[in-house]
Amino acid sequence: MITLVLGGDVSFPGRAAPAFGPLEPLLKGADVRFANLEGPVDAAMAEVLAAAGVDVVSCANDAPQPSLAVLDHAGIAHCGAGANLDDAHTPAVIERSGEKVAFLAYTSLRLPAQGTCVAQAFATTAYQPDPRVAEIPGRPPLVRTTPVPEHLDRLVADIRRAKADHDHVVVSMHWGLPGADLAEYQVGYGRAAIDAGADLVAGHGPQTIQAVEVYRGRPILYSLGNLAADRPDGLLAGGMLGDEPRLELIPVRRSPDGECRPLAGEEADKVLRYVADLSALRATRVTVQAGIASVTVGV
């Protein structure tokens, strides 16, 4: 069994490094720690991540090539970006206790080019007239989104290859819109990843918390929100990969001075009840107790 902790978006607003000290017991207690890196990093920032115990980051939101070299020097694995598409689609592999976890990362959000290639999971958008528009003129259209077929095909092929070569596969997706509502393409990509063999899908990008869906016994975390970014709230997801998978969620918040801390008491339960309500809409049970949410997986 491999224990894993996943966080959402990490950035360095104002170039100030976030303080992860209050999260240290949660981060250091896992075998592998993952977060999504937003934007460039320098050596000092990479050192902050390494000191917090972060083992692997997603760079699919177009981290510039110099940042990848900085991460390499700091000993932090990365995925989702590279000098060419093959690099971007190559998993970062972490080995613990004789088991290998492959991390793949993709972006659905088109960002300005910064000299790197990224693993793309784009979507097309169409607008369907509301079914009652003839009765009530002016009703807003329905927004329909669909994965780009060639991007979906490559994602599926990547996951199948990684699963054949490694014990576990974790897929990171930078996607979505702010708020609680999911875009259709998120569900399409997320479920396709599980169908292809992913053990877990970790989403981020909207900078807000979204639902958890357990699909075929495996979790899709549609958005973990922020670990350390301009907007304060997010989730740390902790779990086990293996024959008896487990998943727990702890809400975290970044204070105005940049310190990241776990929430507790009613403050924590309020966030987690929100997650539970959203997840119930996706037929997923989330149980909240004493500041921790447990998600029923593996069934």
Q: What is the CATH number of the domain that holds 121?
A: 3.60.21
* Contact in structure between 199 and 218 (CB atoms under 8 Å): yes
Helix, strand or coil for residue 121?
coil
pLDDT at 298 over 90: no
Q: How many domains does the chain have?
A: 1
How far is 122 from 101, CA to CA, in rounded Å?
Answer: 25
Coil, strand or helix at 46: helix
Q: State the residue for tokens 């896992």.
A: 30
**How crowded is the C-beta side of 224, counted as CA atoms within 13 Å?**
33
Tracing tokens 């970006």 back to the chain, one arrives at: 81
DSSP codes joined into one string, 142-171: EEEEEE-HHHHHHHHHHHHHHHHHSSEEEE
- Per-residue pLDDT tens digits for 28-52: 889 999 999 988 888 988 999 999 9
Residue (of 99, 113, 129) closest to 62 by Cα position: 113
Return the half-sphere exposure (C-beta side, CA atoms, 13 A cut-off) of residue 215. 22
Alpha carbon 221 to chain centroid distance? 7
Please indicate, yes or no, whether the overall pTM of this predicted structure exceeds 0.85: yes
How far apart are the C-alpha atoms of 246 and 299, rounded to whole Å? 11
The per-residue pLDDT for range 76-129, each reduced to its tens digit, is: 999 999 999 999 999 999 999 999 999 999 999 987 666 679 999 999 999 999
Cβ neighbours of 44 (radius 10 Å)? 11
Quick one: pLDDT band at residue 258, thresholds 50, 70, 90? confident
Rounded Cα–Cα distance for residues 11 and 190 (Å): 24
Report how far residue 112's alpha carbon sits from residue 9's, in angstroms, rounded to the nearest whole number. 18
pLDDT band per the 50, 70, 90 thresholds, residue 14: low
In contact, 253 and 261? CB cutoff 8 Å: yes
Residue 151 has pLDDT above 60, yes or no: yes
| Cβ atoms 254, 229 nearer than 8 A | yes
Q: Is the dihedral of CA 249, 250, 253, 254 positive or negative?
A: negative
- The parent domain of residue 273 ranges over 2-295
Q: How far apart are CA 160 and CA 158, in angstroms?
A: 6
Confidence of residue 66 (pLDDT cuts 50, 70, 90): confident
pLDDT tens-digit map of 263-273: 999 999 999 99
Residue with tokens 């970014």: 229
**CB neighbours of residue 297 within 10 Å:** 21
